[in-house]
Amino acid sequence: MKKSINKYISPLILASALLISSCNKLVDLKPINEISDADYWKTADQFKLAANAFYNYQRSFADILNDNPHADIRADLIITRDGNNLFSSGQNTIPLTDNNWNTAYSRIREMNYLISKAAEYPNPADIALYVAEAKFFRAYIYFDLLQQFGGVPLVTIPLSVGSEELQAPRNTRDEIADFIVKELEEVIEVLPLESNIAAANKGRVSKGAAQSFLARVALYEGTWQKFRNNGSRASTLLDKAISNSDAVIGSGQYQLFAPAALGDSAQKYMFILEDEKSNPAGIGKSANKEYILANRYSFTQRQIRMNVTHSCLNNVFWGSKKMMDMYLCQDGLPVTVSPLFQGYATTRSEYNNRDNRMQYTWMIDGNYYWDNENPGSRVTWVGDAADIANSRGVHNGASNSGYGPQKWCTERRLNDNEEAYDYPVIRYAEVLLTYAEAVFEKNEMISDADLDKSLNLVRNRVNTTMPKLSNALVKDNGLDMRTEIRRERNIELFFEGFRLDDLKRWKTAETEMPQDINGITWTGTQWETRWPGISSQVVNGLLRLQTGRTWADKNYLLPIPTQQISLNNSLEQNPGWQ
């Protein structure tokens, strides 16, 4: 049934095809199956089937493992082994065409079409839920465009090749943001609570998902405006971020994944949770109440079909010293001031007394690890002799940057490309962090009570003895509250596609992005004898991974593709890209 929806070709794409028909095959305007439009849109189930297609448009593992607009490899905390990312080094240029732009408008057309057909349906109440889902995903895609390009053409009705809207100028950034907010506020009134969604429909958008996403949008745009000196607009948006994240918190529908049986490894196993045994406690996906909205996979029905484990496990992605130094010590203090920090003298010393998220996100030299190989995967799941005998062996940290990730890497035996853990499109931890940041940025302060109901729940999930973040802790140790709030976000949401967008909205990319990317501390440490072969790559005592990075103001937005401006002379290029 998805095909019967996809036959409605985006006019923006069609116009492109007509213009360059000498180079590319024209878009096929024939229906791709025998179901005619006149025969469709007759029942609520048909609207539901049409809405089902929109769930394929959520972010997925491809968005973080490949070079996509929100991937962390376009930021400053990790790089790929070739180190050559044009976007992270500020060397991207104006493209002729951009598939992200084209695909977005093709998808928006599908949603516009469903909404337009809904206006003709005789019993609106029967399909109200599916119209709300279409509007949610329309807002979802417009937010993606906003983050990439700023203001873009706002299209809310199906267009034909001759529609005058195809020659309209871009809507302003404020108009796009206001549309997204309005769209989400409308659907919040229609969508059901998570607890009211029937088992057969689990995974569909809930009221909490829409509130959470609105909080994300409002925080993003509110801070974008704040750090560009538009305080009035920022205040209004931050209020929306606060109220919507607070509503999700108060709803009692979601909770952080923290089964006692997994202890401080809970967060590690949440990211690789399957219904097949994928963790020492044998806990399945139904126990995860943290994923508010997820791109859902199944080992028996829908595998990820990307080699997630072998890509992530100390292979393609290399961590930076900058990232590693962000993890606090167990006294809640940064490595620069904590007496618990044991320095870099040995290959393992910097991991001691640190935030537990560090050891469960990164591999430690000399520790045993497991993957999906046979042998190499778990047997008993208790780390005993049998498990160790079947492991992939001890980790050799003298490779890559010296910092090897293990996030997203399964430990159960399966073939490559068969991983089937869900991708967290929105999770409750993000909502808690959104609340804390929005409150602080709105008021330039945050109470301990607000920290305790939000950020500290995330911080102490797997750090039960670490002191909470508090105003006293910040004051007594010469810390900065904004820095500490951002630190928690950087650590918790690492490798989930947030870092670059955060740097852009905070307007700190101009400071952070040009910095060199370094690996382990080599000079004066055990690494000198363990890894002598990299001596020529050591600069100022550190393994140098990348230098010569740049960032200009124009990089805060991507350029509008040349082809789109050729098709529509009313489109203006983003600043600095002319």
Q: In this structure, are strands 517-521 and 538-539 parallel, antiparallel, or unpaired?
A: unpaired
The radius of gyration computed from the CA coordinates of the chain, to the nearest angstrom, equals: 24
pLDDT band of residue 35 (cuts 50, 70, 90) is: low
Q: CA-CA distance, 503 to 149, in Å (whole number)?
A: 15
Q: Calculate mean pLDDT across residues 514-537.
A: 98
More confident residue, 18 or 430: 430
Q: Which of 171, 96, 110, 170 is nearest to 140 (CA)?
A: 110
> Is 5 a residue whose pLDDT tops 90?
no
Q: In this structure, are strands 423-427 and 317-319 parallel, antiparallel, or unpaired?
A: unpaired
Flag the least confident range among 17-21, 105-109, 122-126, 230-234. 17-21
SS (HEC) of 444-496? CCCCHHHHHCCHHHHHCCCCCCCCCCCHHHHHHCCCCHHHHHHHHHHHHCCCC
Q: CA-CA distance, 137 to 31, in Å (whole number)?
A: 24
Q: Cβ neighbours of residue 413 under 8 Å, at least 6 residues apart?
A: 372, 373, 374, 377, 378
User: What does the DSSP 8-state code read for residue 410?
Assistant: -
Which residue has tokens 């929109």? 54
Burial readout 198-214 (b: 16 or more C-beta within 10 A, e: otherwise):
eeeeeebbbbbbbbbbb
Phi and psi dihedrals of 380, rounded to 5?
A: -100, -20
What tens digit of pLDDT does each residue of 369-419 get? 999 999 999 999 999 999 999 999 999 999 999 999 999 999 999 999 999
What tens digit of pLDDT does each residue of 227-271 get? 999 999 999 999 999 999 999 999 999 999 999 999 999 999 999
> Is the CB of residue 491 less than 8 Å from the CB of residue 357?
yes
> Is the CB of residue 102 less than 8 Å from the CB of residue 12?
yes
What tens digit of pLDDT does each residue of 163-190 get? 999 999 999 999 999 999 999 999 999 9
> Is 437 a residue whose pLDDT tops 90?
yes
Q: Cβ neighbours of residue 272 under 8 Å, at least 6 residues apart?
A: 278, 279, 408, 409, 410, 411, 419, 421
Q: Cβ neighbours of residue 230 under 8 Å, at least 6 residues apart?
A: none
432, 435, 436, 440 alpha-carbon torsion, rounded to 10°: 170
- Residue ranges of alpha helices (H) inside 363-454 are 385-389, 428-443, 448-452
> Is 207 a residue whose pLDDT tops 70?
yes
> Is 27 a residue whose pLDDT tops 60?
no
> Is the CB of residue 467 less than 8 Å from the CB of residue 331?
yes
Q: CA-CA distance, 520 to 271, in Å (whole number)?
A: 26
Residue 262 CA: distances (Å) to CA of 46, 56, 257: 43, 31, 10
User: What does the DSSP 8-state code read for residue 525?
Assistant: S
> Is the CB of residue 560 less than 8 Å from the CB of residue 574?
yes
Check residue 571 and give its pLDDT: 96
> Is 508 a residue whose pLDDT tops 80?
yes
Q: CA-CA distance, 349 to 515, in Å (whole number)?
A: 25
> Is 12 a residue whose pLDDT tops 70?
no
Q: Cβ neighbours of residue 102 under 8 Å, at least 6 residues apart?
A: 10, 12, 13, 16
Check residue 443 and give its pLDDT: 98
Return the structure tokens found at 391: 């492991």
More confident residue, 432 or 25: 432
- Mean residue pLDDT of the chain comes to 93
> Is the CB of residue 314 less than 8 Å from the CB of residue 403?
no
Return the structure tokens found at 488: 């928690």
Q: Calculate mean pLDDT across residues 350-363.
A: 98
> Is the CB of residue 298 less than 8 Å from the CB of residue 422?
no
